Each structure stands twice: as C-alpha cells, then as structure tokens.
Structure 1
Amino acid sequence: MHLPIVLRASLVAGGLALIALMALPARADDNSPRQRPATISLTGTGEIAIIPDEAVISSGVVTEAKTAREALDANNAAMARVTAAIREAGIEARDIQTAGISVTPRYRYPRNDGREESETPRIIGYTVSNTVSVRVRDIAKLGQVMDQVVSVGANRIDGISFVVSDADARLDEARGAAVRDARRKAELYAEAAGVKLGRLVSISEGGGFVPPQPKAEMMMARADATSVPVEIGEERLSIQVNMTWELDQ
C-alpha cells in the first residue's frame, strides 16, 4: 500500500519537529522566585576620650544710659578696653570676632489702677550690649584672658566651649573602632547561629557626638574670682556605623 505523497511529507515534517524539541535544553521558568541570601545588620560604636586643646569664650559689655547716644558711647569705650586686654593676653586679631551688638529702649510700664484709659509705656533709657567671640588657641591662657576682660570692664560672659583642634583626625580613630565593633558583634551572632559572614553588602555612618558644654551661669559665678579657675576635663567623641553582611549557610 502506497501512502499519498502529501501524507508522507507531513509525517516526515512532524518527526523532524519532535527531534528538534527533544534536542532543546530544558529552561527554567523565568517567573520563578529567586532565593535571596539571608543577611545580618549590626550597628557598631567607636568612642575615644581626648583632652581639648582650645576654647572659645563669648564676652562683652552691657551699658545703660538715659539716651541711646550716651549708652553707645559708654559701651564703645568699655569694649575698646576689653578688646585691648584680649590682645594684650596674646590673642591674635583673627581670633577676635564681634558676635552681636544691640541698642534697645527701656520702658516704664504704668500700673493698672482699674481705669479704662491708662498711661502708655514710656521710654526711660537705653541699653547697649556688645559681645565678642574669642578663640583661645593656647588653652593655658584661658583663665588669664577671662580674668583680664572682667578686670577692664566686661560685665557679661555668655558661655564657654572647649574645642579639639584635630577632631577630624581623631574621629577617624573612632570610625575604625566602630567598624571593628560592628564586625565583632556580627561574627558573634553568626557563630551562635551556625553560619558564617559572607560578602559585605552595605556600610553607612551615623552621627558624631560631642557632649554639652558647661553652662554660662556657672562661668559667671566664677568670673569675679582673683584668678578665674577653669576645669577643662575630657571630651568623648563617638561615631556609629551601620553594616550589613550576607550569610553563608
């Protein structure tokens, strides 16, 4: 029996197609979820203790007079003496900067005696305030500078802050300590979980920390001493880093 030519051609073509499909490699489903490696994230802290080597003080003069002109003239004269004393203490001009100056009226307010109309507040004088910010690079001179400015007429010390001149370099030490601290914690957790740390995925830095400075009121209480005592103490600089690793299971 002879098959028609058309039928024989169809069988041959079908057989070739089947062979071609069997020869294709198996392909995974592109939509199948890929398993992501487990990760661990830890925060490390690095802290160093250092002694400040500079200080910044804010000092000035407040004067009162009946007129603004009189108050300003008196303030100018007093501030000239204060600035001269600062320079005599060995402070360079680049480290002396005007921090603020103001001229404000002083009022007398009427007492409320229950009447519907009362006297309006009256200006009875003026107050002039002038302050300078002084950077003391030789911290051993700090007490001397404060003593001199008060002696020549400064009647306000608004605050004092201690400075570490090479803080950036010292913070780098804290950064290294923070990274070591984070890795130590991560390895501890990984060992306890029976896995190992893999590739480092990310690392980011948190903020540095500088402790608050002494309050101005405390410094004012000491300002009238014969020699102003200043306790420098110790600063602690702190850095945090956040790190994430993959886990090899």
Structure 2
Amino acid sequence: MNKEEKIKMIVTGIKALALIVGAVGVFIYADAYAKSTALNSPAITITGIGKVIAKPDVARFSYSIKTEGGKDITKSKKDNDDRSNKIVAFLKKQGVPKEDIKTTGYSMEPRYQSYACGNRGVVSIGLATSGGSAGAPTFGLAEPQPCPPADIVGYSFNNTVEVTVRDFEQKNLGTLLSGVVTNGANNVSQLRFELDDPAGARLLAKAEAIAKAKIEAKRLAKESGISLGRILAIDEYGSPIPMYAKSLGLGMGGDAMVAESAPAIEAGSQEIEVTVNVRYALK
C-alpha cells in the first residue's frame, strides 16, 4: 500500500467517524428535545395511594453472651465459646438452620483493678483558740495520693448473634427466646417482624396506587372537559417499615435473671404503602 492509499484510508475513516458522531449527536438532541417538549407541553399530575396489609413471615432477634473471667484468656474465651455453642446447638435442635444464625459482633476487653486515687478530701488539722478556750475547728486538704499503675485482673468477652426465624408460628418463637437465655445468653433484644420478600406486596400496592390515579384522572378529565393523552411519567414513593415487638428484658442483669416461661409473642400485621404521581399529557 503506497502513501496515497494510506492517506485516502485515513480520510475515509475520519469521514466515517464524523458521520457516527453526528448521528449520535442528532439522537441525543432529539431525545432531549422530546423530553423538553414533554415537560413543557400541557400536562396534569395525579397522585394515587395504594396500601396492602401483609402478615410478616420472618422474625429476627439478637442475643448476646457476656462473660467475665480471670487473667487466663484461653479459659475466659472457652467459657464464652461453650455458652455460644450450647445456644447454637439448641437453636438448630429447634429447627433453625445454621445459615439463619449470624454473628454480628465479637469483642474481648481487659478488666482493670480499680483504685481510689487522687485527693481524698478534707481532714481536720486542729482547733482554733480564742482567749484560752477552744474555737471552731479548722480544716485542710489531704495530700494527693498517687495512683498505682493499672493492673489487668481479667478479661471480658462479648458475643452478639442475630437469629432469623422462618415459620415462627410453627417453631414457637416464645420457646426460642426463653431457650437462648436458659442456655447462656445474658440479653435478648431487637425482636422484629418483617416480610422476607416484600417485593410482591409492594407490586400489589403500586398497582393499586396507579389504578386509583387513573380513576381520579378520568374523573377530573370528565368534569373539566379535557382529554387525557399518554402517560409521561410515573414517580413512586414509600417503602415497607418493619414492625417491632415490645422491647424484651430476658436475661438482662446477668445469669440471675432467667425467663421462667415462654413469653406470648404476636406478630400482628404490616402495612405497605406506595404513593405514585402519574403525569398525563393533555390533548
């Protein structure tokens, strides 16, 4: 290929690239123009609200195991691990799969000897005299006492676990809550009921919201004598909110407080609300 042919190929490539860039530019402009026209054209926006009442099918709660031991870290850790394993074994026996038992926090902290250091207050150092008789007592500050170096006297371990319970009515949620305490948990909290997959319920609520918006749009069009065109946009708002049960106090205060019986737990129902704004063009 000679020099002239190479130049022709380069020029041809540049022309082709220019055509492509020009076509893309026209497309972008046309799209932007269409959107601008749609926004500036006569239109009406109608709001519709859809609600769906759904029964939660998943319960979640957290429990924690806090143990305090001596200076032997291995022994202190083993005490916490033994309790944790005992609770997990209990949950599995009750039909909770290991995939639904998730550690959300684990910590180890040293415990230090506490000392009463610093200025210990005021002390009497004598009596004032006046004319040979005793007067009012006088006081002075004690000498500051230096604080000895902090000594580690032991270690604390804390393990926090979240449990997901499916088919909680069949598994008896109250028995699970009491069981984790009797098997070694110090605290049970954050019990909540949710929909495992709220997408289906949201779609139903959205469909209801759009249907209501359409009905309202037709009513307004009829009363005002206008003609509805195509739908220009649909904006959606709203999200499901988990329902929380009353706060639990099982196991709080250490091992001394243990649930004596399984608490009665009611999941109730959950309302999912979706709001849509439907924008119609006017003919």
- Does the alignment reach a TM-score above 0.5? yes
User: In 1, Cα distance between the equivalents of 2:215 and 2:146?
Assistant: 76
**Aligned residue for 2:267?**
232
Percent identity of paired positions between Structure 1 and Structure 2: 28
For 2:212, the equivalent position in structure 1 comes to 181
Q: For the residues of structure 1 that align with 2:245 and 2:155, how far apart are their CA atoms?
A: 31
Q: Which amino acid aligns with 2:198?
A: A
Query: Paired residues, what number?
Result: 213
Q: Give distance in 2, aligned partners of 1:209 and 1:243.
A: 21
Q: Secondary structure at the match of 1:80?
A: helix
Of the structure 1 ranges 70-79 and 100-109, higher mean CA displacement relative to structure 2 is found in 100-109
TM-score (norm 1): 0.74
Q: 41, 62, 66: which is aligned to 2:66?
A: 62
Residues of 2 paired with 1:119 and 1:129: CA distance? 28
Q: What is residue 97 of structure 2 aligned with on the other side?
A: 92
State the Cα distance separating 1:165 from its structure 2 match. 3.1
Deviation readout 1:68-109 (Å, 9 max, x if unpaired) = 333211101111111111111111222222222111123455
Aligned to 1:74: 79
Match of 2:237 among 199, 206, 221: 206
Matching of residue 145 in structure 1 with residue 181 in structure 2: no
Residue identity opposite 1:128 in structure 2: F
Question: Any gaps of 5 or more consecutive residues in structure 2?
Answer: 1-36, 120-143, 252-257
Q: 5+ unaligned residues in a row in structure 1: which ranges?
A: 1-33
Map 1:1-249; keep pairs closer than 5 Å.
36-67=40-71, 68-108=73-113, 110-111=115-116, 113-114=118-119, 115=144, 118-119=147-148, 121-140=150-169, 141=171, 142-214=173-245, 218-221=247-250, 224-248=259-283
TM-score (norm 2): 0.66
In structure 2, what is the Cα distance between the partners aligned to 1:72 and 1:238?
A: 47
Q: Secondary structure at 1:219's aligned position in 2? A: coil
Name the CA distance, whole Å, in 1 between partners of 2:197 and 2:97.
20
Q: Decide whether aligned partners of structure 1 residues 51 and 81 sit closer, same or farther in structure 2, where only a CA change above 3 A counts.
A: same
Larger Rg: 1 or 2? 1
CA RMSD in angstroms comes to 2.7
Q: 1:126/1:188 Cα in 2 relative to 1: closer, same or farther (>3 Å)?
A: farther
